[in-house]
Amino acid sequence: MPPAAVPPPSAPATPSRPAADRAPIPPATRKGGKGKWIAGGIALLLVVLYNMGSGDKPVIEENACESAFDLGTQAVTSGDLAAARTQALRASAECGDKERAKVNTLQRAIAAAEKTDNACQRNFRAIDGLLQDSRPGRARAGLNELTAACSNKPEAEALRTRLEATQEAIKAALADVRSALDARDQAQARAALAKLTGLNRDEPSLNQLKWEVDALDAAAAAAAQPAPPAEVFMPGAAPVQRAPSQEPAAQRAPSAPSASATQDAGAAQRTSMATMFLRDAEQALLQRKFDAAKTYVESARRADPNNPQLDSMMQQIRDRERQMLQEETTIR
């Protein structure tokens, strides 16, 4: 019989150790573990930073839009339309779709302000033309009719300053004319009258003053004419018979009017001038221009101090003016 197989000798058994006594495998020994953790941390940090930045961006854009809108509105209010347009362009670039209504509101405000400014500039040019045309009364009426928006502009203030200076010059020229007339200085009176006409073509007393200056010139011319030679008669001598003039009657110089005829003509002219001024006073009274009506009455008084209609016309003006004042007080 074959011999039985003998098993190989077994290795001595190694005594087992508890799990707690086994040495843990460090992370560094794991393939790729440390690199993954670092890459993940960096990615997480980038995500956080991106989210933070994207969250602040709408806030910054909103603040820029509000700033442009506020500055543009302030510029429109102050009348600086150039700055308002600049802020409108900025708002159009900074404001998003949600804030587009603000951009449209600012643009509409600028368009309305431009329309108002154009109307003001047209009125300013018209008033300036009246001042250059020596019509300060109409210029003052134009200034009084300006809207509040136009009246507060620097151009309106400059026109008011010019008007006040013109009125002061008119008062001075009017005083110079009257002073020269009182002094019977025809050259000075005519020069002052020309200055007054150049300052105010609508001066109510121009016609009266012109008439007085013309009368002063006529009186000076009459005084400058030489007196005719006096004829000497000898006692007992026959009067000298002068031969009739051989000139045709059409070429003979008209004889000088007598003193009484000259006085009557002057009185009639003064009465006519006074009547004309009183008619102008009536027209001014119908138009409720009380100051002009009083000026016309005073001009009539200077032309004809004894005119019986002077006092009654002045009383009518005062009564009508008092009535108008009472009506305005009652309405208020």
Q: Where are the alpha helices (DSSP H) in 79-205?
A: 81-94, 100-132, 136-144, 148-151, 154-182, 186-199
Domain finish residue from 107, 123, 140: 107
> How many domains, the chain?
3
Are 218 and 271 members of one domain? no
Q: What are the Cα distances from residue 84, in Å, to 69, 75, 155, 195?
A: 9, 5, 20, 47
Q: Give residue 321's domain range.
A: 266-332
Contact 143, 159 (CB under 8 A): yes
Instruction: Assess whether pLDDT exceeds 60 at residue 239.
Output: no
19-28, 68-77, 199-208, range with the lowest pLDDT? 19-28
pLDDT, position 146: 92
**Residue at 4 is within a domain:** no
**Residue at 178 is within a domain:** yes
Domain finish residue from 107, 128, 158: 107
Mean pLDDT of 167-193: 90
Residue 29's pLDDT band (boundaries 50, 70, 90)?
A: very low
Mean pLDDT of 100-124: 88
Q: Where are the alpha helices (DSSP H) in 200-258?
A: 206-224
**Mean pLDDT across the chain:** 76
Whole-prediction pTM: 0.48
**Residue at 124 is within a domain:** no
**Residue at 179 is within a domain:** yes
Strand (E) or helix (H) holding 27: none
**Residue at 160 is within a domain:** no
pLDDT, position 17: 52
pLDDT, position 328: 76
Are 324 and 272 members of one domain? yes
**Residue at 284 is within a domain:** yes
Instruction: Assess whether pLDDT exceeds 50 at residue 233.
Output: no
Mean pLDDT of 128-136: 92
Q: What is the pLDDT of residues 54-70, one digit of tens each?
A: 444 444 556 888 888 88
pLDDT, position 249: 45
Are 271 and 331 members of one domain? yes
Residue 304's pLDDT band (boundaries 50, 70, 90)?
A: confident
Instruction: Assess whether pLDDT exceeds 90 at residue 289.
Output: no
**Residue at 22 is within a domain:** no
pLDDT, position 101: 87
Q: What is the pLDDT of residues 249-281, one digit of tens each?
A: 444 444 444 555 555 566 777 787 788 788 888
Domain finish residue from 222, 254, 285: 222
**Residue at 130 is within a domain:** no
pLDDT, position 261: 52
Tell me how crowded residue 76 is: count the other CB atoms within 10 A of its CB: 21
What is the distance between the alpha carbons of residues 211 and 300, in angstroms, rounded to a whole number?
11
